[in-house]
Amino acid sequence: MIGGGIAGVQAALDLANSGFLVHLVEGTTSIGGKMSQLDKTFPTNDCSACILSPKLVECGRHFNINLLTLSDLIALEGEPGSFKAVVRQRPRYIDPEKCIACGLCAEKCPKKVSNVFNEGIGERKAAYLSYPQAVPLKYALDPDHCIGINKPGRCGVCAKVCPAGAINFDDTAKEHVLEVGSVVLALGFSPYDPSSLDFTGYGRLPNVVTAMEFERLLSPSGPCMGHMERPSDGREPKRIAWLQCVGSRDINRVGHPYCSSICCMFALKQAVIAKEHAHGEFEPSIFYMDMRTHGKGFENYYNRAKDNGVHFHRARVHSVIPAADPGNLQLRYVDEQGQVNFGEFDMVVLSTGLQVGKQTLAMAEMLGLELDADNFIKTDSFNPVATSRPGIYVCGAASEPKDIPQSVMEASAAAAEAGQIMAPARWSETSKKVYPAEMNIHAQAPRIGVFVCHCGINISSVVDVEAVAAHAKNLDGVVFSQCNLFTCSQDTINQMVSIIKEQGLNRVVVASCSPRTHEPLFQETLRDAGLNKFLFEMANIRDQDSWVHQLEPEKATAKAKDLVAMAVARVRGEGALPYNTVPVTKSALVIGGGVSGMTAALSMAEQNYPVTLIEQSECLGGNGRKVYRNWKGDKFLPFINELTARVTTHPQISVKLNTEISDVTGSVGKFITTFSDGHSFEHGVAVMAVGGQAYQPEGQWQFLHGINPHVQTLLELDQRFIDEDATLGEVKQAVFIHCVGSRIPERPYCSRVCCTHAIDSAVRLKELNPDMDVFMLYRDVRTYGQRERLYQEARAKGILFIRYDLDHLPQVSEKDGQLVIHAHDPIIDANVIIHPDMLVLATAVQPRQQTGVLSKFFKCAVDSQGFLLEAHMKLRPVDFATEGVFLAGLCHYPKPMEEAIAQAKAAAARASIILAYDAVPAESVTAVVTPAKCTGCGLCVAVCAYNAVSLDENGVSTVNTSMCKGCGACVAGCRSDAVTLKNIGNEQIMAAVDAAFM
């Protein structure tokens, strides 16, 4: 796995969790990539670090992920299944085994360096941690700037202050030769550098910043701690302009003909978030060519931004120059009426596009990979994650500009492809930890051990740790207490295991840093010592005590004593909990026989899992059979026919046509699905690929469709292309209307595919008859990513684009059978009358009506439009909140075939993770009902998000442990105090409260 951004991390986790050893090679000191630099993410406005961190921590701690930071792949030879990869690891100069991330080296380091993580805004030291949540949480010395490295014998302050002796100025580069079955590239992108675009003033005017720089200015971990300040004078900006397409869609100055796909949403998000950051009045303005909000939830976001006072100007700004008021900026632009306008702003943000990084080019050359015309790594329409070299896969922005959900989907898809190659070797390279038998503590009196951590001087310089340990010794149930310099160091961990055994401890409290990072480590230590891991509590005396009360050591010590007493009180009443598991039936059900369903089925079958594929109609292929070709000119039918043949002849796939679902019971690991023919099927996982359907034009969007024979939809035109209808070449004038049924109040989403589809169809008509006049009536042209080339080609072929808006809908009428179209061209501000002999409607993509019914069978959610709703729009794009069920294709959101294929493979990868195990873990901290107290009101049933609670035949609440996630909603909801969470019950909480106030 090359690259430790979000795509690389996702692919590594998917592969490691499905039974493969993964070497994750990252060039910098820590994983996280671009996503770790973001403040918030669209369209959910989640904190980027908050949703990313758990994945990074999981990656860093994973037993089967070998994290190689500061490393580069320098050579690769061999074949798919048996490559030999040479990885060069540069020296870190700080031993990660010893570093405890106390930060003293950075604090005392005398050498200040531009802060790369903050995009060069502000400074960091030559001894540094790139960002607070970095994984691995280990410091490094910057060899370009460190005095001690460059002038041996000089400086060396860090070595003197490091309490762990981790500094090693003599560290050297290492070479690792790795035997791998497959290589996945997640090389990411580098933002376009706008320095050469002098009209933007970037680099000369301090208040002109790039989108990434602005993101750091907004971020709480950024240079101004999340207070929005402009660089020139630290004033809070009141008017900010975002300039779109800087470095994208520009063949004149930049040489990037493609659209960067994400910047419209990026700017919208920044405008909305900046407004939240601002105190008092704030005016965000976005200068754009087309707003491209083509993803799930994006159009709604755009509409909300408009309603919330974000100003939109359809203009490409001519120049940014200093205004009379110091620091302010004057923008000169021409509006749609052709008038020159000036606008004054406090700050300008350049929505810089995405481009291929230098390292990607070098890597592609070294590996002999083909690149496309824009230097992105070339992929195939029908195999969107495969590179030109077998066994090497690519995911994320290295193959085309794309957003995070799409990158995450591709990451899982690449994992599926790599997993297919390596399937015979599953579990052969991985190691699995074996724990000693667990001691039964049931009838034992509590024997609690307390370990108080110095954390170097992080805690002990403020808190009197010896006094805390002495205090702990006198607490009820405590039989042992001691202080450790570093409780998490490997030697202390080993010591802890022997102390637990020697002292016969049956409960443990660690008073140290934070359970956020260290609880799993200590819980594992308990298991190593033969204790149930739930007999553990942590007292946070660093993050929440010594770090925040540095000036009041006495009070901090008193607080530490209270925190330890509370933890002891809690752990005293805790019991061993079962490590719940659910056995896995190793087979999959795929619902829907379109391209997505077939792809998912084939991917799982290739990994040797039996799959049943059901399709409600009498043939496989779905919507794909109705489409002529994609924007790259690849025809669909030959591909679909081949795919169908592979699916129907695959020994692991059983296809059931004309079949629907009549009932589903069970949950992850074991579902039992009954089909319409009465048969039932037991399966461990399910993939929903139930497709979508074309909107049938009606009302004001009907445009004489079904009345005048010359009016047809895109799919109807595609059928004529497929049938090679010779009369198409005789058409003299054709008109396309975009957004028929999309982006309107009833359907407030963009159908994503139709701009590209319509323009490609128009180009096809021009191919058939170059003299044909073709008009496109559009709202915003959304040929995102490299599809932009098609738009350029269309204009070069003379196809005319006329914009309309909802206040000026095209009017379609007929006179003696002849179509007459009235439209308004806003550029020439004139009415246009066209008499075409063909009108084509680019109709919306809708979810199928059955989607809602099907979703209920598997307890999956649907969104307000009836599309299936994934577990998380950003980072879990193919999972449902319901475990064991996955989704792919049009039922999720309109998407072109290459994206549907990637998503289907991703769904297969995610499903394979479950199928790789004989049993899957289930939550241990679950809710339990005291039947005697239950009044049967059913409130717990109503509030449970996981359908885990139900009323039994006696009207008493019961919890299905395998579905319970331990969220506690039912506990809070119960009016009779009948539901509690194991180990987090009233008795533990009240005991802790008592201890605090004793």
Q: Of 542, 557, 536, 548, give the one whose Cα is nearest residue 470.
A: 557
Residue the block writes with tokens 């590996």: 367
352 half-sphere exposure, CB direction, 13 A CA radius? 22
Question: Which pairs from 635-641 meet CB under 8 Å and 24+ separation?
Answer: 636/897, 637/722, 639/382, 640/595
> Hey, what's the torsion of the CAs at 695, 697, 699, 701, to 10 degrees?
100
Q: Which stretch binds another protein (CB under 8 A): 146-154, 197-205, 523-531, 912-920?
A: 197-205
Q: Alpha carbon 445 to chain centroid distance? A: 47
Residue among 200 and 855 whose Cβ is closer to another protein: 200
Q: Which stretch binds another protein (CB under 8 A): 196-204, 384-392, 456-464, 763-771?
A: 196-204
The site for another protein, by CB under 8 A, has a size of: 6
By the 10 Å C-beta count (0-12 exposed, 13-18 middle, 19+ buried), 836 is classed as buried
**Is the omega angle on the peptide bond into residue 43 within 30 degrees of 0, that is, cis?**
yes
325 scored as a contact of another protein (CB under 8 A): no
Q: Which stretch binds another protein (CB under 8 A): 128-136, 318-326, 557-565, 864-872?
A: 318-326
Distance of alpha carbon 692 from alpha carbon 867, whole angstroms: 9
Residue among 201 and 593 whose Cβ is closer to another protein: 201
Smallest separation, CB 351 to another protein (Å): 20
834: phi then psi, degrees, rounded to nearest 5:
-120, 140
Q: What is residue 711's DSSP assignment?
A: E
H-type alpha helices, 208-297: 211-218, 263-277
167: phi then psi, degrees, rounded to nearest 5:
-75, 130
Smallest separation, CB 319 to another protein (Å): 5
Residue among 84 and 253 whose Cβ is closer to another protein: 253
Smallest separation, CB 818 to another protein (Å): 46
Residue among 322 and 477 whose Cβ is closer to another protein: 322
Residue among 181 and 201 whose Cβ is closer to another protein: 201
SS3 521: helix
> Which residue among 198, 233, 725, 977 contacts another protein (CB under 8 A)?
198
By the 10 Å C-beta count (0-12 exposed, 13-18 middle, 19+ buried), 471 is classed as buried
Smallest separation, CB 358 to another protein (Å): 23
Residue among 329 and 978 whose Cβ is closer to another protein: 329
Q: Of 11, 47, 62, 3, give the one whose Cα is nearest residue 28.
A: 3
Q: Which stretch binds another protein (CB under 8 A): 317-325, 437-445, 713-721, 889-897?
A: 317-325
> Which residue among 45, 195, 319, 444 contacts another protein (CB under 8 A)?
319
Distance of alpha carbon 689 from alpha carbon 691, whole angstroms: 6
Residue among 123 and 335 whose Cβ is closer to another protein: 335
Residue among 146 and 254 whose Cβ is closer to another protein: 254
Q: What x/- string results for residues 141 through 180 when contact with another protein is judged by CB under 8 A?
A: ----------------------------------------
How many residues are there in the chain? 998
Q: What is residue 972's DSSP assignment?
A: H
Q: Which stretch binds another protein (CB under 8 A): 194-202, 286-294, 379-387, 559-567?
A: 194-202
Q: Of 650, 646, 694, 477, give the one whose Cα is nearest residue 570.
A: 477
Q: What x/- string results for residues 486 through 525 when contact with another protein is judged by CB under 8 A?
A: ----------------------------------------
Residue among 350 and 598 whose Cβ is closer to another protein: 350
Smallest separation, CB 263 to another protein (Å): 23
Per the CB < 8 A criterion, the answer to whether 802 and 763 are in contact is no
Smallest separation, CB 353 to another protein (Å): 20
Structure token pair of residue 351: 């929505």
998 scored as a contact of another protein (CB under 8 A): no
Residue among 196 and 617 whose Cβ is closer to another protein: 196
Residue among 63 and 199 whose Cβ is closer to another protein: 199
Smallest separation, CB 201 to another protein (Å): 8
Smallest separation, CB 318 to another protein (Å): 9
Per the CB < 8 A criterion, the answer to whether 477 and 535 are in contact is no
Residue among 4 and 201 whose Cβ is closer to another protein: 201
Smallest separation, CB 198 to another protein (Å): 4
Q: Which stretch binds another protein (CB under 8 A): 51-59, 193-201, 651-659, 985-993?
A: 193-201
Smallest separation, CB 199 to another protein (Å): 5
Q: Which stretch binds another protein (CB under 8 A): 91-99, 198-206, 514-522, 799-807?
A: 198-206
**Per-residue b/e over 147-186, b at no fewer than 16 CB within 10 Å?**
bbbeeeeebebbbebbbbebbebebeeeeeebebbbbbbb
322 scored as a contact of another protein (CB under 8 A): yes
> Which residue among 116, 251, 321, 828 contacts another protein (CB under 8 A)?
321
Residue among 243 and 566 whose Cβ is closer to another protein: 243
Touching another protein, residues 200-219 (CB under 8 A): 201
Residue 907, Ramachandran bin (φ over 0: left; ψ between -120 and 50: alpha; else beta): alpha
Smallest separation, CB 726 to another protein (Å): 48
199 scored as a contact of another protein (CB under 8 A): yes
SS3 864: coil
Distance of alpha carbon 712 from alpha carbon 704, whole angstroms: 9
Residue among 318 and 835 whose Cβ is closer to another protein: 318
Residue among 322 and 666 whose Cβ is closer to another protein: 322
DSSP string, 293-342: --STTHHHHHHHHHHTT-EEEE----EEEE-SSTT-EEEEEE-TTS-EEE
Smallest separation, CB 324 to another protein (Å): 8
Residue the block writes with tokens 């391209």: 595
Neighbours of 931 (CB within 10 A): 12
Smallest separation, CB 231 to another protein (Å): 18
User: Residues interacting with another protein, by CB under 8 A?
Assistant: 198-199, 201, 319, 321-322
